[in-house]
Amino acid sequence: MRREFAYQTVYRYLETLIDETTRGGQRRLPSLRALSRRLRVSLATVQAAYGLLEHEGRVLSVPKSGYFVQADGKAGAPLTPPSHAAAPAHPTMERLLFAHERRLARQGARASPVAQGVGEIRLRHVLAERYTRSSRQSWHAEDVHLGPDLQALLETLLAGLALQGSTVLVASPCCWRVLRVLQRVGMQVLEVPLDNHGGPDLRRLACLLGRESVRMMIMPSCLSMPTGRLMSPQDQREIAHLLARHPVWLLENDLDSEHCFAAPPGCRLRDWVDPRCLLVLGSLEALVGAEAPYAYVLSRHCALAEVFALRAFQLPPVRQQALAQMLGKGEVDEQLGRRRVELRLRMEQVCQHLEACLGGQVAYEMPDGGHVLWLQLLQPMPSDRVVAGLSGPALHVLAGAQFSVQGRYQHYLALAWTAGPPEALREAIFRLSQALELRCGRQVASEA
């Protein structure tokens, strides 16, 4: 009998809890840490099982509240794609975070209003120091604004700048989580035109900025995701020159720049831009992991402090202090160096298996960073029909159309190997190969 992987065991256990809800059981499911202790498995294993159930539409993750069984508790189409193309878990970072929290608890840290303020101020101060690189590019604690997650932070930011309903220009393809927030608040989303090599077409971009009443532009700091390409310093300078001629906010997407396989490049888009028009978007989840889902934005705009104060986000004070200590002591950067090596090795393995199973069916390039591989289907077919039922804990498969609002990337896929042994990866890619062959055969038959 074939042995189950650990995540499959957790998955089966959660299925029994879901079934109990149909008989009047509680709809709220155990937290990641509670289930990890109960079943004596890692947080990453529990997260993989929850991720699979969430993708199947059987479980709903609610920020700051936990996991809940969907109304019917049955498998079906997922309500949302897996989080951020399923960034890998960071167990070492999480262990460091918990160790700092235990130490702070022994020292008498409490969740009082005073402790809340101390934790937030320390974290904002450390983030400001992290982004300060020169007298021109200097930040202070009051320039850093925190939110419980990316969605809440973006919604608050757009409200503070009175941008709801206006026109925004985004890099293409664009992080689907950002796109969903923009659509939810009624933004008109345009996408940066691309040249024949997939880079920004600067001539057409200049025409677009001159023709449309664009209020904000969202561009990567240096690493474009999900393609995993590094933006050249020349393109950064040209985009900065264009923005200098138009009254446009730049929201620099710095969610993924720390995941370059080599050390992050010295040049970022923000280095060339007027700081008065600059907003820098970052995520502690990208640095530390799912136990720190908080997002932040850096801005010198005075109105934002008041808007974020009115929202009064209540983040765990001890966790904020622990994060500040990890960043201030250099522990996060030390782990990031190791993670870059691991990400590169993971991506090389994914490419090797793809070449063996899908060599003639897809086109791709080894990315410069990140955990996502961007594929083009050589036999054009709607990718959303291919991905149905393929995503699992070992390999997340997302349709390229989710990264565009203008109908681009219908024939693209985004793959992320998030957890599990190489055997599970090989099996997942083999299933993908079978799905492509089956879909291609049906397409040829229908054309005949």
pLDDT digits (tens, 9 = 90+) for 294-322: 999 999 998 899 999 988 888 888 999 99
- Range(s) for CATH 3.40.640.10 in the chain? 93-332
Q: Of 142-146, 198-202, 440-444, which range is least confident?
A: 440-444
- Range(s) for CATH 1.10.10.10 in the chain? 1-80
434 vs 277 pLDDT, higher one: 277
Mean pLDDT for 131-159 is 91
Q: Cβ–Cβ contacts within 10 Å for residue 421, how many?
A: 10
pLDDT at residue 64 in the model: 64
Percent of the chain with pLDDT over 70: 85
**257: which 2 tokens?**
């720049």
pLDDT, tens only, 108-127: 755 454 555 788 999 999 99
266 vs 448 pLDDT, higher one: 266
Q: Apex CA 36: angle with CA 373 and CA 27, to 5°?
A: 90
Q: How confident is the model at residue 54 (pLDDT cuts 50, 70, 90)?
A: confident
Burial 330-347 (b: 16+ CB within 10 A, else e): ebbeebbeebbeebbebb
Alpha-carbon distance of 34 to 67, in angstroms, equals 12
Pick the CATH number of 1-80 from 2.30.110.10, 3.30.565.10, 3.30.1340.10, 1.10.10.10: 1.10.10.10
Predicted structure pTM score: 0.78
Inform me whether the pLDDT recorded for 146 exceeds 90.
yes
pLDDT at residue 102 in the model: 87
What are the two backbone dihedrals, phi and then psi, of residue 223, each rounded to the nearest 5 degrees?
Answer: -115, 115
Q: Which amino acid is at 107?
A: Q
Q: Of 14-28, 62-76, 231-245, which range is least confident?
A: 62-76
Residues in Cβ contact with 282 at an 8 Å cutoff, skipping those fewer than 6 apart: 127, 254, 255, 295, 296, 297, 298
pLDDT at residue 79 in the model: 36
313 vs 444 pLDDT, higher one: 313
Q: How confident is the model at residue 2 (pLDDT cuts 50, 70, 90)?
A: very low
In the chain, what's the furthest Cα-to-Cα distance? 74
Three-state SS for 280? strand
Pick the CATH number of 93-332 from 3.40.50.2300, 3.90.1330.10, 3.40.50.300, 3.40.640.10: 3.40.640.10
What is the average pLDDT value for the chain, to the nearest integer?
84
Residues in Cβ contact with 65 at an 8 Å cutoff, skipping those fewer than 6 apart: none
Q: What separation in angstroms does the CA of 289 have from each of 58, 88, 114, 271, 333?
A: 23, 8, 26, 27, 14
